[in-house]
Amino acid sequence: MKEEIFASGRHIPHIDPYLNIWHWPIALYLFLGGLAAGILFFAGYFVVKGKEKEMPATVKWAPIIAPIALVIGLLALFYDLHHKLYFWQLYTTIRFTSPMSWGAWTLMAITPLSFVWVASYMKEMFPGWDWKLKILDRFEAWVIENRVPFAWIMMVLSIILGVYTGILLSAFNARPLWNTSILGPLFLTSGLSTGLAAILWISKNEHERKTISRIDLVLILVELFFIVHLFMGFLAGTAVKNEAAALFLGGEFTVTFWVFVVILGLVFPATLEAMELRGFHVPAWLPPLLILFGGLVFRFVMVDAGQITRFLY
Amino acid sequence: MAIDTKKCVGCSDCVVACQTENNVPHGYCRDWIVENVSGTYPVVEMEFRSERCNHCDNAPCVRCCPTGASHIAEGGIVLVTHDECIGCGACIESCPYDARYPHPDGYVDKCTFCIHRVEKGQNPACVDVCPTHCLHFGDLEDPNSDVSLAMKDRKWRVLAPEAGTKPQLYFLM
């Protein structure tokens, strides 16, 4: 036999018996951050490509979600801090070794940018919109004039944001489930895919829907490939990595992950999207809803399961 | 710090001394005793380990801290500046030894090797209180320090070296 116990007793809140320091706000934020990154990336992308007119939902309407998602995400992050009144300390320094530090700065840049982006389309979306102040009119004119450079900056920042939602977790070598370099690309892909799902939900334009569906199909396939890759890495890894994989291969997260994330959140909506592209009638809200739900569950599963995996005891 | 697992009897005096010395809130602890039993009767082995923050040389908590609150003080002790800590929990996630916890006041707390005592030339409270003298503290670069002398002729190991943190708690076997 081999047994290890805390002889002095130890039951520290949030630490024992399993680490549980990050709760739903972190998972929710990772989802909303990825969603906003996806929406803003494609809004920027189609402006850079000069397809603004063909993709109205992508460029104008869906981005309304981004600032809302980012603000809710930021509030969730703030809510999760234990020493809330000191949050401003984040913005007194940049620490390049800490993903949370440059993530906080990225958010500081992309959140106002998402507001500016939406504001610059207000007059097009709501005819008769009046900014009331001259200076705002002038600012709007300046943004509209420089829309392409803005789109480029937004694309770069949204990629950083999307990757950051994964790297935030993968930087912790103490949590074997998170500590894999595939997590950054995986979270980015998932974020882009949930962004496309939101666009697809909003779009009424046949051509736009088809374009978005096609990109989404590719992203879902890439995501599935990354997931396979993730588990291949775990199973070929050290004991702690094997244990991390075991949580999903027979362990307590098996059903949640494979049924809700992989099948209902990726495979099934991808099949529906493919059928729609072939001319079958599919309820327009169903694939996006499934993808968004799968993406949300994925973040919750990763945040919860990662904290269970460890080196000792 | 070196911990002589052959001498430790698991009395938990170090835990209580720490809680008293550092006003550790009720229900929390900065150090703890692990009892490891292995083998099959009649060949059974038991090991006690007094564990705490490993004050790692390559401290992941310091690397992950977004504000610089977690830092390595002169001499190698890993500390948290309370006024700079936002309580985000990144350092807690990053610690393979689960040595940190969120203090009820919000900031993240952990073993400080009783730096307030060390600065005065004293030992950490846990070291001084240990009835079997199984804890040895000091400067590893000084060959005549208590810890260097304790480790000189002994076999030792560290916990989870595969985590790559270069831990500075040495368990004498």
SS3 of B86-148: CCCCHHHHHCCCCCCEECCCCCEECCCCCHHHHCCCCCCHHHHHCCCCCEECCCCCCCCCHHH
Q: What tens digit of pLDDT does each residue of A258-312 get?
A: 999 999 999 999 999 999 999 999 999 999 999 999 999 999 999 999 999 999 8
Q: Which of residues 117-136 of B touch A (CB under 8 A)?
A: none
Q: How would you classify the pairing of strands B170-172 and B70-72?
A: unpaired
pLDDT tens track, chain B, 173 positions: 999 999 999 999 999 999 999 999 999 999 999 999 999 999 999 999 999 999 999 999 999 999 999 999 999 999 999 999 999 999 999 999 999 999 999 999 999 999 999 999 999 999 999 999 999 999 999 999 999 999 999 999 999 999 999 999 999 99
C-beta atoms of A84 and B86 within 8 A: yes
Residue A51 DSSP one-character state: -
d(CA A3, CA B73): 36
Residue B171 DSSP one-character state: E
The arrangement of secondary structure in B2-172, i.e. its CATH architecture, is: 2-Layer Sandwich (3.30)
Q: Indicate the residue type of B113.
A: F
DSSP string over A65-83: HHHHHHHHHHHHHHHH-SS
Whether B12 and chain A come into contact, CB under 8 Å, resolves to: yes
The answer, yes or no, to whether residue A1 has pLDDT greater than 80, is: no
In a domain, A211, yes or no: yes
Pick the residue of A6, A18, A21 with the most B CBs within 10 A to test the interface with B by mutation. A21
C-beta atoms of A19 and B159 within 8 A: no
Q: Which helix (H) or strand (E) holds A186?
A: helix A183-202
In a domain, A124, yes or no: yes
C-beta atoms of A101 and B33 within 8 A: no
Of B100, B102, B98, B65, which is closest to residue B84 (Cα–Cα)?
B65
Q: What tens digit of pLDDT does each residue of A205-220 get?
A: 999 999 999 999 999 9
d(CA B84, CA B107): 9
The answer, yes or no, to whether residue A313 has pLDDT greater than 80, is: no
Domain that holds residue A60: 24-308
| Chain A with chain B: Cβ pairs closer than 8 A | 160
d(CA A227, CA A262): 9
For A287, phi then psi, to 5°, come to -60, -45
How many structural domains does chain A have?
Answer: 1
On whether the CB atoms of residues B63 and B47 are closer than 8 A, the answer is no
Strand partners for B46: B37
What CATH code is carried by the domain that includes residue A94? Answer: 1.20.1630.10
C-beta atoms of A95 and B107 within 8 A: no
In a domain, A213, yes or no: yes
| Nearest CB to A8 within list B32, B96, B162 | B32
On whether the CB atoms of residues A37 and A168 are closer than 8 A, the answer is no
A269-303 burial code (b ≥16 CB/10 A, e <16):
bbebbbebeeeeeeeeeebbebbbbbbbbbbbbbb
| Nearest CB to B38 within list A2, A81, A97 | A2
Joined tokens for residue B49: 């380990």
Quote the pLDDT of residue A132.
86
In a domain, A226, yes or no: yes
Q: Which chain A residues touch B34 with a CB distance below 8 Å?
A: 4-7, 313
Quote the pLDDT of residue A190.
97
Distances, alpha carbon A227 to alpha carbons A23, A161, B11, in Å: 23, 20, 47
Whether B45 and chain A come into contact, CB under 8 Å, resolves to: no
- When pLDDT is cut at 50, 70 and 90, the band that residue A2 belongs to is confident
C-beta atoms of A82 and B68 within 8 A: no
The minimum CA-CA distance between B115 and chain A, rounded to whole Å, is: 23
